[in-house]
Amino acid sequence: MVFYRSGRLRRDPSQFARGSLTHGGCYSTIAGGFPAGLPPANPMSKPEISSDAIMTRQHRFATQTVHAGEGPCPVTGALDTPIYQSTTFASANSDDMAAVYGDEKPGYMYTRYGNPTIRALELKMAALEGCEGALATASGMAAISSAILAFVGSGDHVVAARSLYGAAYDFLNHLLPRYGAAATFAGSARMEDFEKSIRPNTRLIYFETPSNPVLEIIDIGALAALARSHRIPLMIDNTFASPVLQRPAGLGVTVVVHSATKYLCGHGDAMGGIIAGPESYITPLSKSILRDFGGIISPFNAWLILRGIHTLPLRVFAQCANAQRIADFLNSHSQVERVNYPGLPGHPGHEIAEAQMKAFGAMISFEVKGGYEGGKKVMDRVKIFARAASLGDTRSLIVHSASTSHRAVPREQRLAIGISDGLVRLSVGVEDPDDLIEDLDQALAF
Ligand SMILES: Cc1ncc(COP(=O)(O)O)c(C=O)c1O
């Protein structure tokens, strides 16, 4: 599907023409497990892939969240994956070291090139996203920038959704042009607008659904069909949904990226990112861009995120149930102009979300009456919601977009993508929903 040449990944048109590898291909190869020769989840086991990592591919999602990529240490019996807080790894002799360096033998040498704790997280995420491989990175933005740069170089073009996380938008809009590439943002979530933006030099289509912070929904299967018909790889930021709610590779998406800082970690205590996709993309990426830009995750953060993932479905479904109740409450509140939540039947993407997601997520944004000052007032009056950036934590968080995350965006541009002066974004946590509703009710009483 992709091959590596002169420092970056390129599409191989002949393989796209056969139509078998990119779109959905990585999902269908799960049962075969990982190719032989990848480093083991635990270096004390034999240098083959641990049978656990393959076996869990046949199990259901919640079982995979606990077991995939991990297994007991064969030497000590330790059930929890150890934190290999080591930058470097010793070899038995010079031949062994040369073989590991030359990729002739699996093993570890230097944490920027690979680390057993990080590897366990990568194996788990590959299983959860139904992809052949995955890489862990220092942050969500390290994942997004590395994953895009693997497809795009000087003279290339990206088509992106209009509603994106701010730093991803900045990367595409401001940084890519400095490297001789350009991005066009589709005028709406409709397929016609994505198709109109495609050029002969388009190397990638990039999108989020649900999007940050206006919760725009894009039909993943329809966009995958469009990308396939133009033989262009498709990349999704799956942070808002997490693999609990949608698994885009199964719908034909080529590469899935995450801010693991959010739902995957879940406790607001570690930054991280994930890139999941076909081995033909992941392996060269791990040996070039990730190694050379150096945006790798620390073993300790990888361990915190691994631990977070054990409870991912429990947390996410509880958060979704809370969010639905809060959205219903806000939707009938006299101080609220509009609620963006795909679980509300009036949301323009409700039917698509219902078809492609297991639940509607735990992110809500709403427009408070009173514009800019109204939005800030709600922020100032809440008692349980924390006035804090980020999302996906067990704690509920609140942000007034116009005065914080989007203060640098010109007002006209901000309004055009639906971020009104009074827009407030909630990340709903796992607290008792009655307390959260009471908190918002008293905050809106002004
Ligand atoms: C949807 C989305 N993607 C990516 C990111 C970037 O993640 P990180 O902060 O881990 O770099 C964020 C951060 O808020 C986000 O909301």
| % of the chain exceeding 90 in pLDDT | 83
Nearest C-alpha to atom 7 of ligand 1 is from which residue? 140
Q: Which of 112, 231, 291, 395 is catalytic?
A: 112
The closest-lying atom of ligand 1 relative to the alpha carbon of residue 143 is 11
For a substitution probing ligand 1, which of 139, 163, 165, 255 has the most ligand atoms within 8 Å of its CB? Answer: 165
Model's pTM, two decimal places? Answer: 0.89
Regarding the beta carbon of 237 and ligand 1, being less than 6 Å apart is answered yes
| Inter-residue contact 255 to 235 (CB < 8 Å) | yes
Q: What is the pLDDT of residue 10?
A: 36
Q: Which CATH architecture has domain 312-443?
A: Alpha-Beta Complex (3.90)
Q: Which CATH number fits domain 2-33+119-309: 3.40.640.10, 3.40.50.1100, 3.30.365.10, 2.70.70.10?
A: 3.40.640.10
Reported as a single tens digit per residue, the pLDDT across 129-139 is 999 999 999 99
Pairwise pLDDT comparison (330 vs 2), residue with the higher score: 330
Question: How many angstroms is it from 327 CA to the middle of ligand 1?
Answer: 23
In the chain, ranges of CATH 3.90.1150.10 domains: 312-443
State the closest ligand 1 atom to the C-alpha of 260, by its place in the atom list counted from 1.
10
| DSSP state string for 29-74 | TGGG-SPTTSPPSSTTS-SSPPHHHHHGGGS-HHHHHHHTT----T
What residues form DSSP beta bridges with 3? 10
Strand partners, 400: 424
Specify the length of the chain in residues.
446
* Selected residue with higher pLDDT from 32 and 277: 277
The answer to whether residue 165 is catalytic is yes
Share of the chain above pLDDT 70, in %: 87
Choose one of 144, 261, 406, 425 to mutate for the ligand 1 pocket test, by most ligand atoms within 8 angstroms of C-beta: 261
Ligand 1 centre distance from Cα of residue 185 (Å): 19
Residue with token string 């590959």: 126
Q: How far is the CA of 156 from the centre of ligand 1 (A)?
A: 24
Active site residue: 156, 237, 393, 439, which one?
237
Helix or strand or coil: residue 121? helix
Ligand 1 atom, smallest distance to 208 CA: 1
Ligand 1 geometric centre to CA of 265 (Å): 12
Q: Is there an atom of ligand 1 within 6 Å of 242 CB?
A: no
Q: Name, in order, each residue with C-beta under 8 angstroms of 418's C-beta and a sequence gap of 6 or more.
A: 163, 214, 216, 340
Q: How confident is the model at residue 406 (pLDDT cuts 50, 70, 90)?
A: confident
Distance 263 CA to ligand 1 centre (A): 11
* Ligand 1 pocket residue status of 107, Cβ below 6 Å: no
- CATH code 3.40.640.10 region(s) in the chain: 2-33+119-309
Gap from CA of 142 to ligand 1 centroid (Å) = 10
For 332-356, where are the alpha helices, taking DSSP H only? 350-356
Q: What is the tens place of the pLDDT at every residue in 60-111?
A: 999 999 999 999 988 899 999 999 999 999 999 999 999 999 989 999 999 9
The catalytic residue among 262, 315, 377, 425 is 262
Q: Is 193 a catalytic residue?
A: no
Calculate mean pLDDT across residues 309-313. Answer: 98
Query: Cα dist. 420→25, 284, 340, 380, 398 in Å?
Result: 40, 42, 12, 18, 16
- Residue 169 in contact with ligand 1 by CB distance below 6 A: no
Quote the pLDDT of residue 229.
98
pLDDT at 116: 95
Q: What is the pLDDT of residue 407?
A: 87
Q: Is 237 a catalytic residue?
A: yes
What digits encode the pLDDT tens for the residues 351-391?
Answer: 999 999 999 999 999 999 999 999 999 999 999 999 999 99
Q: How many CA atoms lie within 13 A of 234 on its CB side?
A: 35
pLDDT in tens, 252-278: 999 999 999 999 999 999 999 999 999
Question: Ligand 1 pocket: which of 139, 141, 238 to mutate (most atoms <8 Å of CB)?
Answer: 141
Distance 166 CA to ligand 1 centre (A): 9
Question: Which of 8-12, 67-71, 180-184, 409-413 reaches the highest mean pLDDT?
Answer: 180-184
pLDDT of residue 282: 97
Ligand 1, residue 240: give the atom nearest the CA: 1
Which ligand 1 atom sits nearest the alpha carbon of residue 144?
Answer: 4
Residue 211 Cβ < 6 Å to ligand 1:
no
| Distance separating the N- and C-terminal Cα atoms of the chain | 57
pLDDT at 56: 62
pLDDT at 325 over 60: yes
Q: How confident is the model at residue 55 (pLDDT cuts 50, 70, 90)?
A: low
Q: What is the pLDDT of the chain when averaged over all its residues?
A: 88
Going from the Cα of 446 to the center of ligand 1, the distance in angstroms, rounded, reads 33
Residue 259 beta carbon below 6 angstroms from any ligand 1 atom? yes
Q: Does the beta carbon of 271 lie inside 6 Å of ligand 1?
A: yes
- What's the whole-number mean pLDDT along residues 388-416? 93
Question: In angstroms, rounded to a whole number, what is the distance separating the alpha carbons of residues 362 and 370?
Answer: 25
Question: What is the reported pLDDT for 436?
Answer: 98
Instruction: Assess whether the C-beta atom of 216 lies below 6 angstroms from ligand 1.
Output: no
Comparing CA positions, the residue from 173, 119, 123, 186 lying closest to residue 145 is 173
Asked if 15 contacts 21 with a C-beta cutoff of 8 angstroms, the reply is yes
Tokens of 239: 């942070």
- 129-175 pLDDT, tens digit per residue, is 999 999 999 999 999 999 999 999 999 999 999 999 999 999 999 99
C-alpha pair distances (Å), 206 with each of 144, 199, 353: 10, 14, 18
